[in-house]
Amino acid sequence: MNARRHFALAIAMLFALTLAACVSVLGFPRTGTSHPFEHRAHVDKGIPCVVCHEGVEHAGDTSPLHLPTDAQCRGCHSKPHNEGSCRGCHGEASMREGASLAREHLRFEHAKHDPVVHGDCVRCHSAVAESRPQTLLPQMATCFSCHQHEDQWNLRGCDSCHVDLTADDAPPSSHVVHDGDWIREHGVRAGSERDLCSTCHSERSCAKCHGVGTVPALPAKMAFDDVRLEGLHRAGFRARHALEARADPGLCTTCHSESSCVECHTASHVSPQGTTRSPHAVGWVSVGRGGGEHGVQARIDPVSCASCHGGSGEQLCVGCHAVGSPGGSPHGPGFTSNKNRTHDMPCRLCHGTGP
């Protein structure tokens, strides 16, 4: 019993130690080190922002950040509790870096905004009232609350605020965030806003995946050492590509042409061209209702059939399915077409006098 209790205690201690280690590994702030600057305490005491951020009200687009120096802090805090730099503990490096990046990538002039808000900085920097703000940078929606940017949004005129979105290559933090399973989701999101996408993404962004004959430039191929990149073709995709294709019929030809399949399958000797080795199981084609498994599978994933039997290979089907032939009609229930059955392709292959 004792042994069992000691074992449980040891496990509990190990678990507690692991949790304690994870607190810092997971990014939770440690106590005793830097923390967000106590903006709220200063605001509560009614200290104007410009007392510390001296001159910021006159700052232009390329002015320095006007972050307070130790001397400015000690102007009020005449008896500091140690001789170290104030910003070593008060304020987080990541927030200062964020402000620096915003200065670099955004066009913004405090000098133009200060008179409009009559020195009320909180109007935009509302997060100073929070006890542990993630950032003090205003969200884009805050800009929109005053500026009638609807015209610029409609006209995709982002350059008036953003320096160079295409070159920045920085994911947005507060709007059109690429969150969740973005590879699947981006298609439906981009449908209505393709030109919005192009304000940040170059032509290459689309073409690297959606271009015909794109294989060499696929991000997964070029950046094989950046394992953070998501993508359909990462890791052992070549081994599992048949399973991936079957799980989502038609997905492959969203980007690839049928010839991509034919070229590779021919080289690998898994296509009818140039080999007698068939990838199909015995009984794949049988006479009778539905023509056996091949009839069902062809209607589930016709693209898969076309990837080997497309082009001139279609004659293989015509041999059995031409009007009057033993294969019967290959059309499924409810099939309709606006084509002329005797003149248009592919109808004339079976209904007409040939190609």
Partner 1 sequence: MAAWLLSARAGADPLRLRADAVADTQTETQSPTGLVVLQGEDKLRPWLGVEGLVWTGTKPGLTGDVLVLALHMREPHGYGELRVGRFVVATGAIFPVQIDGAEAIGRTPWGSTLEAFGGAPVVPRFGARTYDWLAGVRVAQHVASTVTMGVSYMQRRDDGEISNEELGADFAAAPAPWLDVAAKGAYDLTSPGIADGRVSAATRVDAYRFELFASEQSPGRLLPATSLFSVLGDFPSEMIGGTVRWAAAPRLDVLASGAGQLVGAELGMNAWIRSTLRFDEHGKGSIGLEVRRVDVSAARWTGFRVVGMQPLGGGFRFSSELEVAVPDDPNGRGVAWPWGLAALGWRSKGWEVAGAIEAASTPEYRYEANALARLSRTLELP
Q: Residue 240 burial (CB < 10 Å; 0-12/13-18/19+)?
A: exposed
Residue indicated by tokens 């496990």 = 11
- What CA–CA distance (Å, rounded) separates 348 from 342? 5
**Nearer CB in complex with partner 1: 118/228:** 228
Least Å from the CB of residue 76 to partner 1: 30
DSSP secondary structure of 151-194: HHHHTT-GGGTBS-HHHH----SSSS---SSHHHHHHHHHHH-H
**Nearer CB in complex with partner 1: 67/347:** 347
**Nearer CB in complex with partner 1: 336/353:** 336
Least Å from the CB of residue 53 to partner 1: 24
Least Å from the CB of residue 30 to partner 1: 12
Least Å from the CB of residue 292 to partner 1: 15
- What CA–CA distance (Å, rounded) separates 146 from 110? 15
Alpha helices by DSSP H, the chain: 2-25, 39-44, 49-52, 70-76, 93-105, 110-117, 140-146, 150-154, 165-168, 182-192, 194-197, 203-210, 219-222, 237-247, 258-267, 293-300, 302-309, 315-321, 347-351
**Nearer CB in complex with partner 1: 202/278:** 202
- What CA–CA distance (Å, rounded) separates 133 from 130? 5
Q: Which of 110, 127, 71, 67 is nearest to 91 (CA)?
A: 67
**Nearer CB in complex with partner 1: 56/291:** 291
Least Å from the CB of residue 63 to partner 1: 22
End-to-end CA distance of the chain: give it in Å, rounded. 86
Least Å from the CB of residue 259 to partner 1: 7
Question: φ, ψ for residue 35 (rounded to 5)?
Answer: -145, 165
Least Å from the CB of residue 250 to partner 1: 3
Cβ neighbors of 195 (< 8 A, separation 6 or more) are 156
**Nearer CB in complex with partner 1: 129/235:** 235
**Nearer CB in complex with partner 1: 43/310:** 310
Least Å from the CB of residue 195 to partner 1: 6
Q: Radius of gyration (Cα) for the chain, nearest Å?
A: 32
Least Å from the CB of residue 307 to partner 1: 10
**Nearer CB in complex with partner 1: 70/301:** 301
CA 314, distance to chain mean position in Å, is: 39
CA 75, distance to chain mean position in Å, is: 48
- What CA–CA distance (Å, rounded) separates 205 from 69? 43
**Nearer CB in complex with partner 1: 2/338:** 338
